Amino acid sequence: MRVVLSGGGTGGHIYPALAVASQCAEEFPNSKFLYIGGQRGLESSLVPKENIPFEAIDITGFRRKLSLENVKTIMRFLKGVRTSKKLLREFKPDVVIGTGGYVCGPVVYAAAKLGIPSIIHEQNAIPGLTNRFLSKYVSTVAVSFDNMNSAFPGAKNIVYTGNPRATTVFAADKNKGYDSLGLPKSSSVVLVVGGSRGAKAINEAMIQMAPLLNKAEHLRFVYVTGESYYASTMNTIQSQVGELPDNLLVLPYVHNMPEVLASTSLIVNRAGASFLAEITALGIPSVLIPSPNVTNNHQEKNARTLERAGAAKVILEPELTGQSLFDAIKRIMGDLEVHASMSEASRRLGKPDSAHLVVEEMRRLIQSR
């Protein structure tokens, strides 16, 4: 199978594409891949590390108001389509898949115009601008949440696959997670993380909560600050409580997140779609603090989906304090029945075979040509 992957800007778009590549290579060992991404996106550094050939195009996203920059974006899009057609003709893929971000716009559009089977994968409960545009041209729209047909009224085919990143995490070894944190394997771990770069609001709440942790000595709190917040967080907590509480571990970044997640009993996090796919694949209850600074407030919509199912407690940023966060954690971790119920609800939402379902749809499209 010859596959072109595209998607970028953030890990939420890149990691699902890499998960599809990994699953495809497992099911079809002779597969060949080409990743077409942006010159400026995170994919330009992440993808080559996976030994996947990478080609870059120059593309930017649309501004949400009329501007000269949008005219330039249209010109870059048209140039990107021409470049993508050239790359596709040279590589001769059996299928092209885009996992979001404006970079996959010209790539997937070019594939559709060349008659190559194409798929877009939408991670969020509310689709992004690029995927809404592409949905009218591609062979299949793969979605992470059920009942999303109304979000893509012009689509030819919509398939509920879940998020491929779930497959990567489901296979993780929790014992390696405990070992990497230096914790006993019987620990009840509360993982607090604000995304790869951290989150100011969660950081402030965690600082406020630090003096309360001695009231929950049976729990082990692991707080991943993000590189930019690490020094200031450590200094502020130590100025408040002296030495760090024995049950608090503060880290700037976690490089083996799937393994750490596998050892986690409760997570406090933003509500990015890929992360929600990961925690539901493992059946982890969550306290979700959706970022208000995202397009169409899609993180709150993602979070509310889990909350309605009984898998999460949502705290909006205006309601977030150290005390409100501690109370939510205490309610879940202090009641075995509540924790078990939320864990089961989370697991019901998970689709650990997501990557396989996407690859299966790729295979179907190739065979139906």
Is 80 among the annotated ligand-binding positions? no
pLDDT tens track of the chain, all 369 residues?
999 999 988 788 999 999 999 999 999 999 999 999 998 888 998 899 999 999 999 876 655 565 666 667 778 889 999 999 999 999 999 999 999 988 999 999 999 999 999 999 999 888 888 999 999 999 999 999 888 889 999 899 999 999 999 998 998 999 999 999 999 999 999 999 986 667 889 999 999 999 999 899 999 999 999 888 898 888 898 888 878 889 999 999 898 999 999 999 999 999 988 889 999 999 999 999 999 988 778 899 999 999 999 999 999 999 999 999 999 999 999 999 999 999 999 999 999 999 999 999 999 999 998
H or E element that contains 117: none
Range 169-349 has CATH code 3.40.50.2000:
yes
Please state which architecture CATH assigns to domain 2-163+352-367: 3-Layer(aba) Sandwich (3.40)
Confirm whether 2-163+352-367 and 169-349 share one CATH topology.
yes
This prediction has a pTM of 0.81
Is 11 among the annotated ligand-binding positions? yes
H or E element that contains 6: strand 2-6
Task: Please say whether the beta carbons of 312 and 287 come within 8 A.
Answer: yes
Is 350 among the annotated ligand-binding positions? no
Is 139 among the annotated ligand-binding positions? no
Domain extent listing, the chain: 2-163+352-367, 169-349
State the sign of the Cα–Cα–Cα–Cα dihedral 342, 121, 263, 289. negative
Q: 188-193 and 32-38 as β-strands: parallel, antiparallel, unpaired?
A: unpaired
**∠ CA 108-113-119, rounded to 5°:** 35
Is 10 among the annotated ligand-binding positions? yes
Task: Please say whether the beta carbons of 97 and 120 come within 8 A.
Answer: yes
Is 124 among the annotated ligand-binding positions? yes
